[in-house]
Amino acid sequence: MYDQILVGISHVFQPWTLLAVMCGVAGGLVIGSIPGLTSTMAIALLVPLTYAMEIEFALPLLMGVYCGAISGGLVGAVLLNIPGTPASAGTCLDGYPMAAKGQATRALGLAVYSSMIGGTISGLALVLIAPLLAKVAMSFGPWEYFALVVFTFTCISAMSAKGRAVKAFMAAFIGLALALVGLDEASGQTRLTFGFTSFQAGFYELPALIGLYAIPQLLADTDDIGRKGKVLKIQYDLRIFMSTFREVVSRWWDLVRSSLIGIVIGILPGVGPGLSNIVAYSQAKHASRTPEKFGKGELAESVMSPEAANNASMGGALIPMLTLGIPGDASTLMMLGAFMLHGIDPGPLLFRDHGDIVWIVFIAFFVAFAFCAILYHFFIPLTVKAISVPRQYVIPVLLILCTVGCYALNNRMFDVYCFLGFGLLGYLLHIAKVPVLPVILGLILGPMAEEQLSLALAFGQGSLAPFFLRPISGAILMVALLSLVLPPILGRLRSKADIEPA
Amino acid sequence: MRTTDLLFSALYLGVLLIAFGQMAGLNENSGAVYTSAKLYPTLVLGIGLLVGVIETTRTLLTKLPADAPTFSVVWQHAFGPRRMLLLGLFVVYLLAIKPVGFLVATFVFCFATTAALAPVRGPRLFLIAGVVALSTLAVIYLLLVVYLEAFLP
């Protein structure tokens, strides 16, 4: 293992790679700070352009963008009361009131340092948990993998907004159906191609990913054109900013609790920083001796908790992606696309066959956070300007970059048209308020589910019993079933309990 | 929102039924004894259809919340003029890349979209739109052609 660590270090600590990580972080900070542009969008823009790069260079660059973009959302949350990314929604609740009281630098300092510490704790969790989970996953057979795919979809459904759980399942089946398109290698027959030869190779994941995320989001972003958000004025003082570090460290218990929440939520498939920051905020309020002061911009922990949690989710989300090939959230889904683009399939075998690549990811994660911490000291004024860039200049440029990126993958216009087609599908889902993530997961996990089901049936001589009798597979399916059944039952019990005392 | 939900469910069920019909044309022949080319697709599309029916029934039986947006509000918002303008310009741009060429089409799209989406138009806007369009082209050319040695669309 030590030789792999050294190989990882030697790759990441190359001058050009370090520069790439720094540029990635800087770009991510700027994109993440613009409300409406998420980390997923930032990675989506970059992934196709990394196809010509060596993976040892591309992965640190993408890690830089990932860390920068998630962290960048806090500036808009604090100064504009609009989170740059959903990951910073909880930060608005106290960050903006604190900034409105003339303590903008303090609010930003608290948010930045807690983000960096939360991210670093999650990096440690990633390094400690991922190799262990990969070892456990080495013993997984097709039954366990198929059960994991089922669990992923039930988990997304359970985490969906109220009344949207079945819709999340429908979205997953749209993705699974789209994954059927193309040539079935086992039988040599084409499926759902409707006579079009272009469909025989199936859909390439990246144009689909980018289209489903970018086009609906950019169309919706046009609503913000002409709207003038009230950006709070800030007299940035580096000394005040740095002095908040002590305040953050003195609240170490809040940091640890929020980071753990972030890591656990990050590990769950389909949810990530967007949920963890809200949960961490409510838990901090619950644990506080002065919960009445939450929402007033007085307490440090009310700003720190959501930021520590959202960054901690990043390491958590990378754990299932690297060890099982199942992404924790939309951004890691894009990272999964980057791995696939370079011909590497994440999963337990990644740790055995490409241990150096895994360590490049681990080390780049820490380096990206280090750069993020350093750059934030000087980038606050720039990110403040970035949040006020008029959308009409940004939207067409991003659409063009997405188009170029999709074309550059295979040098064919078919991918560009797929990008548009999936974008229109994404917009339809957006109108119907159907989550997009299950569609993409269905598209990516569909072939894996088919392969594992075929293998499981072949090994089990057609029997379904091993799915339930093998301990890990049975346990995963049991948890999947509980995640489906428990939320409605608990919801009903809670609403009954609310009525009865009255 | 109920009408939108029902329309979505109807579209979903329709598409899945068509896909299900296509699967009927597949042969059962497969190298494996216990699986076939039809098994997994039938499973996916069959359960998918069942889920669609459950959701449709749920939508029909569930009481509509008082604050739920009406069908016309949802669709007016979804087909807002700026959104449709951007979508229309983008589709035209993609179709124009082949006949007109990438560089010209990109410059025109970037310039026209920036100008068309802006709430207030004036000479300053056109100047900035021109600079943004040229800078975008320059960055793409440098990154793709010079640095990555790739092809432009």
User: Which of A194, A215, A397 faces B110 most closely, judged by CB atoms?
Assistant: A397
Bridge partners, A183 (sequence order): A190
Q: Mind telling me how many Å the CA of A397 is from chain B's nearest CA?
A: 7
Position A346 scores a pLDDT of 86
- Using an 8 Å Cβ cutoff, are B26 and A189 in contact? yes
Q: What local confidence, expressed as pLDDT, does residue A228 receive?
A: 67
Contact B149 A52 (CB under 8 A): yes
In a domain, A499, yes or no: no
Q: Which of A169, A218, A227, A392 is the best residue to mutate to test the B interface, defined by the most B CB atoms within 10 Å of its own CB?
A: A392
CB contact under 8 A, A163 and B62: yes
What is the domain range of residue A9? 2-492
Residue type, A225: I
Best of B13, B30, B64, B82 to substitute, by most chain A Cβ atoms within 10 angstroms, is B82
E strand spans, A91-220? 182-184, 189-191
Tally of domains within chain A: 1
Instruction: Select the residue from B2, B117, B134 to test the A interface by mutation, using most A Cβ atoms within 10 A.
Output: B117
Q: Per the CB < 8 Å rule, is B22 touching A163?
A: no
Write down the domain spans for chain B. Answer: 2-78, 81-147
- Residue A359 located in a structural domain: yes
Domain presence at residue A409: yes
Q: Is A378 exposed, middle or buried (0-12, 13-18, 19+ CB in 10 A)?
A: exposed
pLDDT tens-digit profile, chain B (153 residues): 788 889 999 999 999 999 988 887 777 665 555 667 788 899 999 999 999 999 999 988 887 777 777 888 888 888 989 999 999 999 999 999 999 999 999 999 999 999 999 888 888 889 999 999 999 999 888 887 887 777 788
- pLDDT of B33 reads 59
Q: Are B27 and A187 a contacting pair, CB within 8 Å?
A: yes
Are B40 and A453 within 8 A, CB to CB?
yes
ipTM value greater than 0.90: yes
Along the 502 residues of chain A, how does pLDDT read in single tens digits? 778 888 889 989 999 999 999 999 998 888 887 776 777 888 888 888 888 888 889 999 999 998 988 888 888 888 877 776 677 778 888 888 898 888 888 999 999 999 999 999 999 999 999 888 888 888 888 999 899 889 888 887 776 777 778 898 999 999 999 999 988 877 778 888 888 888 888 888 888 888 998 899 889 888 888 776 666 777 778 888 889 999 999 989 999 999 999 998 888 876 667 778 888 888 888 888 888 888 888 888 899 999 999 889 888 889 988 888 888 777 888 888 888 888 888 888 888 888 889 999 999 999 999 999 899 888 887 777 777 788 888 899 989 988 988 888 788 899 999 999 999 999 999 998 898 888 988 888 888 899 889 889 888 888 889 999 999 999 999 998 988 888 778 777 777 776 665 4
Note whether B58 contacts A166, CB cutoff 8 Å.
Answer: yes
Asked if the Cβ–Cβ distance from B51 to A173 is below 8 Å, we say yes
Residue B34 confidence (pLDDT): 64
Across the interface, of B8, B98, B128, the residue whose CB is closest to A432 is B8
C-alpha R_g of chain A: 22
- Among candidate residues B66, B34, B78, B39, the one with its CA nearest the CA of residue A191: B39
Query: Which of helix, strand or coil describes residue A179?
Result: helix
Cβ within 8 Å of residue B107, ≥6 positions away: B133, B134, B137
Residue A1, CA atoms < 13 Å, CB-side half-sphere:
5
Q: C-alpha distances in angstroms, A304 versus A118, A191, A235, A248, A439?
A: 9, 51, 21, 7, 33
Among chain A residues, CA nearest to B74: A431
A-B contacts at Cβ under 8 angstroms: 189
Contact present, A285 and A299 (Cβ < 8 Å): no
